[in-house]
């Protein structure tokens, strides 16, 4: 799925974050993230991005942080946060009701810096979907998550310097 638009919105009624993803071919997938899933996702995504960015060029930790922050600034300057989300998809391949995500797996693709990140969203019965995120989209996702968390009042915060150990250097599974 080639992502054209990504939207994150907090639903007070459901006390969840709704993710909507539009593809270039007019398909839309929807999923819910609970506070529990988000609390597990936040520390891991920046660490995975840092690992991917420096996979072919080992750098000391301060240099990794600086490089990631510089890339983040460039990505956010080039991101389009103003275009309204397309409300009428041509197709909803997974249905109109959002999937309740109980597991997220992040896998770096390729063995060079600035590779894509494969993100798999799954439900408790194993049903789900996967997307590929270029580094610029990863930074955009983080920014949307940061803004959405401010609305959710969950006591969670995504800071630019968020990082935590990852369970395995090549793959991260959250559940």
| Lowest pLDDT segment from 29-33, 38-42, 90-94, 160-164 | 160-164
What percent of the chain stands above pLDDT 90? 47
The radius of gyration of the chain from alpha carbons, rounded to an integer in Å, stands at 16
**Model confidence at 147: pLDDT above 50:** yes
In a 13 Å sphere around the CA of 136, the CA atoms on its Cβ side amount to 11
CB 135, CB 114: distance < 8 Å? yes
Q: Does the structure show a pLDDT above 60 at 167?
A: no
How many other CB atoms are there within 10 angstroms of residue 99's CB atom?
19
- DSSP per-residue letters across 32-98: EE-HHHHHHHHHHHHHHHHHHHTTTS---HHHHHHHHHHHHHHHHHH----SPP--S-SB-TT-SSP
Distances (CA, A) of 159 to 43, 45, 101, 103, 149: 10, 12, 23, 23, 11
pLDDT value at position 105? Answer: 92
Tokens 């007070």 correspond to what residue?
12
Is the pLDDT at 168 greater than 60? The verdict is: no
Pull the structure tokens for residue 57.
Answer: 């060029």
Is the Cβ–Cβ distance between 68 and 53 less than 8 Å? yes
Tens digits of per-residue pLDDT, 55-110? 767 788 888 888 888 888 998 899 998 999 988 889 999 999 999 999 999 888 76
Which of the two residues, 164 and 110, has the higher pLDDT score? 110
> In this model, does residue 154 exceed pLDDT 50?
yes
Q: Is the pLDDT of residue 166 over 80?
A: no
pLDDT reported for residue 68: 83
What's the pLDDT score for residue 16? Answer: 98
Backbone angles phi, psi at 5, to 5 degrees: -140, 150
Which residues neighbour 31 within 8 Å (Cβ) at sequence distance 6 or greater? 18, 19, 98, 99, 100, 101, 121, 129
Predicted structure pTM score? 0.83
């Amino acid at each position: 799925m080639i992502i054209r638009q990504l939207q994150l919105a907090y639903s007070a009624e459901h006390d969840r974050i709704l993710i909507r993803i539009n593809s270039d071919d007019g398909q839309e997938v929807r999923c819910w993230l609970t506070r529990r899933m988000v609390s597990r996702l936040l520390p891991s995504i920046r660490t995975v991005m840092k690992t991917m960015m420096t996979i072919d060029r080992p750098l000391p930790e301060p240099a990794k942080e600086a490089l990631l922050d510089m890339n983040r600034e460039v990505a956010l300057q080039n991101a389009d946060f103003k275009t309204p989300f397309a409300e009428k998809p041509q197709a909803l391949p997974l249905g109109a009701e959002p999937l309740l995500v109980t597991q997220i797996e992040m896998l770096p693709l390729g063995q060079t810096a600035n590779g894509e990140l494969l993100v798999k969203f799954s439900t408790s019965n194993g049903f789900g979907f996967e997307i590929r995120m270029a580094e610029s989209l990863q930074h955009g996702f983080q920014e949307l998550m940061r803004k959405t968390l401010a609305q959710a009042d969950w006591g969670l915060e995504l800071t630019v310097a968020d990082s935590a150990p990852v369970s395995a250097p090549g793959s991260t599974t959250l559940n």
